């Protein structure tokens, strides 16, 4: 029963990667710091002790100044909870799927997690397991796979476990056959593998599967598992890349007494058969040409394809045993074939996981955590889909004039502060930040997650931004005493949403006439002297509690047809409510051709509300129509510029 008392205990492991390649790992016991090498420290990558309770992973050498000497401090809180602290003054980093951690900020998060660090470094914190040989269970403690297995008679010898296991249960629920049995020649026989040995193999496979996906430890662990399952000299993972086989010593495992087997070439006859048929190939088998040179000395060989989700071949899990050193058992049993197929599937899963993590690391540079989470759920999201969305464009008024006066350093600080504040309102209301172009921000609602009230959310964000202009003007009054405001355009409609950037620089967002119209509407805010304009599709979706005013019908450059423009209000008082009511009456007079009445009404509004831009514009239009009436009156206003 000695084997049944061995088990494994979980702990957290920190693994440092650079551009997908594992560099070093260490156990997270209390506190762990990540940073560049100090002169007194060993070359990177390495692990040093700062004090009795804190380790440091030396990630980069002295000649890598862009990686800070002290960047991250990780504190083990409890269980799988860790506190991540940015200990640098200016450099930020991010936690995959959880957003950015700015300088001097901390977040308490659950593992597993991945930190996206400067210069292509990433740090994974995952649960690992202490090998069963390093720790014995406390008295009465039941853990691990074998400790949970109930053996009816503790005095039974290990080789008898298969019989005992098959007799577990009673009545209709009785287990008629062991999991270690299989059908051969229509007779039920037991695989010549002891239950204890089988469970040892199973535990080893579980431990291997927990290694970082597609790492050296992962590949060699799978290869070692194959040598434990079947009596072979060596096993290896051979990848199919760019239409050729790629072998590496890092993916080969040989039995200790057969170390020279690593120098032997695999049977390319079997590799090609597995590639061609996308199915396992075993030797001996009647379908294989025994005259092939690569098979003449083989007693046992197997090549199992590693398939991706579309059925394409990623590589082959290969194993063989040469005739001159074979044990005499020539056939691979069906259950051994099944276990090898399971291991090949584990490799495919590991490769897919690594690919996804690599993509997420890349996406982290371009996308918000909201979009990254959606990509994880649907990897084809970037291919594009048709959605109904509301887009928002926000421009800083007078940006060029102000930046020229305050200088580039102040301008950079101002634009970063302003765009950060604007962006927070987008994210707080379930929006997606699409892009920044100079002083303009582009955001979207309605994708990647469908939002029934996307127009309401976008309008709410716009109203927050309108209020923010007052706060930011006060905050920057010493640098920009004249203050500043925003021009905001909203537009609801159909769009094709996906990667609107390139393969080198991703950009997730919408494309189509809705986007073009939204940009044009934002530009019209300057002409109409209002902060926020929107199209009718947006306005009609807003509840009565959100104030809005119909301004006119307009025809804008580059857009077919006309659009009805609405102004979005912030918190209009009683006087503004009267203005908007009287404006609507005057607008109706203008649109039905009663231009004298319209001119009088707009003139009255201009006197009562001299700062109201739309009343002044419509007054000019009404007077012009009186002075130079059109032969066929058209109430649609035509924009002369974008």
Is pLDDT of 294 > 80?
no
DSSP state of 399: H
Q: Provide the angle, in degrees to the nearest 10, between the axes of the packed helices 334-363 and 216-229.
A: 170
pLDDT score of 509 more than 80: yes
Residue 428: inside a domain: yes
Residue 11: name the closest of 31, 22, 27, 25 by CA. 27
Q: What is the pLDDT of residue 246?
A: 93
Mean pLDDT of the chain: 80
Burial class (CB in 10 A: 0-12, 13-18, 19+), 482: exposed
Say yes or no: 352 and 388 in one domain: no
**pLDDT of amino acid 23:** 86
Are 328 and 456 members of one domain? Answer: no
What's the pLDDT score for residue 368?
Answer: 63
Residue 279 makes CB contacts below 8 A (sequence gap 6+) with 305
Asked if the model's pLDDT at residue 13 lies above 90, the reply is no
pLDDT in the model for residue 322: 77
Together in a domain, 355 and 395: no
Query: Which of 547, 571, 595 finishes a domain?
Result: 571
How remote is the C-alpha of 115 from its chain's centroid?
12
Cα diameter, the chain: 112
Exposure string of 148-167, with b = 16+ CB inside 10 Å and e = fewer, is: eeebeeeeeebeebbebbbe
State yes or no: pLDDT of 132 exceeds 80. no
Which two tokens mark 109? 């998060």
Average pLDDT of the residues in 536-555: 95
Of residues 136 and 560, more confidently modeled: 560
Mean pLDDT of 202-221: 73
The mean pLDDT of 185-194, rounded to a whole number, is 40
In this structure, what DSSP letter does residue 56 have?
A: E
Res 363 pLDDT > 70: no
Q: What's the CA gap between 159 and 354, in Å, rounded? A: 40
Q: Collect all residues with Cβ–Cβ distance below 8 Å to 316 and sequence separation of at least 6.
A: 237, 238, 240, 271, 274, 275, 303, 304, 305, 306
Per-residue confidence (pLDDT) for residue 457, from 0 to 100: 96
Q: Please report the pLDDT score of residue 306 as a whole number.
A: 94
pLDDT in tens, 14-51: 989 887 677 888 988 899 999 999 888 888 999 999 88
Q: What is the pLDDT of residue 615?
A: 96
| Top-confidence residue, 411 or 230 | 411
pLDDT: which is higher, 579 or 113: 579
Distances (CA, A) of 29 to 32, 56, 123: 8, 12, 16
Element of type H or E holding 385: strand 385-396
Pair (374, 355) in one structural domain: no
Model confidence at 63: pLDDT above 50? yes
Q: Do 242 and 386 have their domain in common?
A: no
Residue 628 lies in a domain: no
Tell whether 584 is covered by a domain: no
Q: Rank 146-160, 217-231, 496-510, 549-563 by mean pLDDT and report only the highest.
A: 549-563
| Cα 445 to Cα 462: distance, rounded to the nearest angstrom | 12
Domain co-membership, 222 together with 277: yes
Residue 437 and residue 345 in one domain: no
Is residue 443 in a domain? yes
Q: Of 99-103, 444-448, 615-619, which has the strongest mean pLDDT?
A: 615-619
CATH of the domain at 74: 2.60.200.20
- How sure is the predictor about 543, in pLDDT bands with cuts at 50, 70 and 90? very high
Overall number of domains in the chain: 3
CA–CA distance, 461 with 453 (Å, rounded to integer): 12
Q: Quick check: is 617 in a domain?
A: no
Domain boundary among 331, 359, 387: 359
CB 346 within 8 A of CB 214: no
Same domain flag for 402 and 541: yes
Give kind and range of the element (H or E) at residue 427.
Answer: helix 408-428
Asked if residue 576 has pLDDT above 90, the reply is no
Question: Which pLDDT does position 526 carry in this prediction?
Answer: 93
228 or 635, greater pLDDT: 635
What CATH number is attached to the domain comprising 427? Answer: 3.30.70.1230
d(CA 26, CA 351) in angstroms, rounded, equals 23
In angstroms, the CA 133 to CA 138 distance is: 14
Q: Is residue 166 part of a domain?
A: no
Residue 305 has pLDDT above 50, yes or no: yes
Cα torsion through 535, 536, 541, 544, rounded to 10: 110
- Confidence band of 573 (pLDDT split at 50, 70, 90): confident
Residue 444's closest CA among 457, 434, 459?
A: 434
Give the closest residue to 122 by CA, choosing from 13, 12, 19, 11.
19
| Any domain includes 114 | yes
Between residues 540 and 331, the one the model is more confident about: 540
My answer on whether 479 and 564 are in the same domain is yes
Average pLDDT over residues 117-145: 58
Q: What is the mean pLDDT of residues 583-595?
A: 95
Mean pLDDT on 583-610 = 95
Which of 178-182, 479-483, 565-569 has the lowest average pLDDT? 178-182
- CA atoms 628, 633, 635, 637: torsion sign: negative
Residue 92 belongs to domain spanning: 9-131
Q: Are residues 316 and 396 in the same domain?
A: no
pLDDT value at 417 more than 90: yes
Mean pLDDT of 345-368: 71
If you average pLDDT over each of 81-85, 138-142, 225-229, which comes out highest?
A: 81-85
CB-CB neighbours of 625 under 10 Å: 18
* pLDDT score of 388: 96
Query: Cα Rg for the chain, rounded, in angstroms?
Result: 35
Name the residue with tokens 């007078």: 398
Q: Which of 93-107, 240-254, 543-557 has the lowest mean pLDDT?
A: 93-107
User: Do 437 and 343 fall within a single domain?
Assistant: no
- Over residues 252-283, the pLDDT tens digits come to 988 766 666 777 888 888 899 999 999 999 88
How many Cβ atoms from other residues are within 10 Å of residue 130's Cβ? Answer: 14
Same domain for 510 and 393 = yes
| Least confident range of 67-76, 102-111, 509-518 | 102-111
- Closest to 400 measured CA to CA, from 415, 422, 417: 415
Q: What is the CATH number of the domain that holds 264?
A: 3.30.450.40
Residue 138, classed as helix, strand or coil, is coil
How far is the C-alpha of 124 from the C-alpha of 95, rounded, in Å? 10
| Better-scored residue on pLDDT, 157 or 249 | 249
pTM: 0.52
- Bigger pLDDT: 183 vs 418: 418
Q: Residues, the chain, total?
A: 642
Residue range 77-92: mean pLDDT, rounded: 88
pLDDT at position 404 over 60: yes
229 and 336 Cβ atoms separated by less than 8 Å: yes
Q: 303, 333, 359 — which closes off a domain?
A: 359
Render pLDDT for 419-471 as a digit per residue (tens, 0 to 9): 999 999 998 898 988 998 888 999 999 988 888 999 999 999 999 999 999 99
Query: Does residue 150 form part of some domain?
Result: no
Least confident of 91-95, 142-146, 274-278: 142-146
Give the pLDDT score at 231. 75
């Amino acid at each position: 029963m000695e084997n049944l008392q061995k088990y494994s205990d979980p702990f957290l492991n920190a693994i440092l990667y650079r551009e997908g390649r594992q560099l070093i790992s260490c156990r997270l016991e209390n506190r762990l710091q990540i940073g560049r090498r100090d002169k007194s420290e060993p070359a990177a990558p390495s692990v040093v002790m700062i004090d009795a309770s804190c380790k440091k992973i030396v990630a980069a050498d002295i000649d890598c100044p862009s990686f800070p000497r002290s960047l991250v401090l990780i504190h083990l809180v409890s269980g799988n909870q860790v506190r991540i602290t940015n200990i640098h003054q200016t450099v930020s980093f991010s936690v995959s799927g959880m957003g950015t951690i700015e300088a001097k900020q901390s977040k308490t998060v659950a593992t597993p997690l991945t930190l996206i660090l400067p210069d292509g470094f990433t740090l994974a914190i995952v649960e690992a397991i202490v090998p069963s040989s390093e720790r014995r269970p406390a008295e009465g403690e039941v853990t691990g796979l074998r400790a949970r297995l109930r053996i009816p008679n503790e005095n039974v010898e290990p080789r008898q476990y298969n019989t005992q296991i098959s007799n577990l249960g009673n009545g209709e629920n009785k287990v008629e056959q062991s999991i270690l049995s299989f059908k051969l020649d229509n007779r039920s026989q037991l695989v010549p593998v002891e239950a204890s040995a089988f469970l040892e193999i199973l535990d080893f496979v579980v431990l291997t599967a927990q290694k970082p996906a597609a790492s050296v430890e992962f590949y060699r662990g799978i290869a070692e598992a194959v040598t434990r399952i079947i009596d072979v000299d060596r096993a290896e993972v051979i990848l199919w890349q760019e239409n050729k086989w790629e072998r590496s010593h890092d993916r080969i495992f040989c039995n200790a007494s057969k170390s020279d087997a690593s120098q032997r070439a695999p049977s390319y006859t079997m590799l090609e058969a597995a590639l061609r048929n996308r199915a396992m190939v075993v030797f001996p088998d009647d379908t294989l040409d025994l005259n092939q040179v690569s098979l003449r000395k083989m007693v046992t060989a197997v090549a199992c394809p590693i398939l991706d989700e579309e059925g394409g071949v990623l590589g082959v899990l290969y194993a063989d045993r040469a005739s001159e050193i074979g044990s005499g058992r020539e056939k691979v049993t069906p259950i051994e074939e099944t276990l090898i197929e399971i291991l090949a599937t584990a490799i495919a899963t590991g490769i897919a996981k690594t690919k996804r993590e690599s993509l997420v690391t890349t996406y982290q540079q371009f996308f918000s955590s909201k979009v990254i989470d959606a990509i994880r759920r649907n990897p084809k999201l970037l291919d594009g889909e048709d959605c109904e969305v509301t887009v928002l464009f926000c421009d800083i008024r007078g940006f060029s004039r102000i930046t020229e006066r305050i200088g580039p350093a102040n301008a950079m600080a101002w634009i970063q502060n302003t765009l950060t504040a604007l962006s927070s309102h987008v994210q707080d209301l379930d929006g997606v930040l699409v892009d920044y172009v100079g002083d303009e921000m582009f955001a979207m609602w309605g994708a990647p997650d469908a939002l029934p009230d996307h127009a309401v959310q976008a309008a709410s964000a716009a109203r927050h931004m309108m209020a923010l202009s007052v706060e930011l003007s006060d905050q920057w009054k010493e640098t920009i005493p004249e203050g500043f405001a925003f021009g905001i355009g909203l537009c609801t409609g159909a769009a094709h949403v996906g990667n609107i950037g390139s393969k080198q620089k991703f950009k997730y967002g919408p494309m189509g006439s809705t986007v073009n119209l939204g940009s044009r509407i934002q530009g019209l805010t300057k002409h109409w002297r209002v902060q926020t304009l929107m199209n009718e599709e947006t306005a009609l979706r807003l509840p009565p509690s959100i104030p809005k005013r119909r301004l006119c019908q307009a025809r804008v450059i580059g857009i077919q047809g006309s659009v009805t423009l609405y102004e979005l209000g912030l918190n209009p008082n009683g006087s503004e409510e009267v203005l908007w009511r009287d404006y609507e009456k005057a607008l109706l007079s203008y649109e039905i051709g009663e231009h004298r009445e319209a001119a009088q009404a707009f003139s009255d509004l201009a006197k009562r509300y001299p700062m109201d831009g739309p009343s002044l514009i419509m007054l000019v239009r009404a007077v012009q129509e009186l002075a130079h009436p059109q032969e066929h009156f058209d109430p649609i206003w035509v924009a002369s510029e974008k």
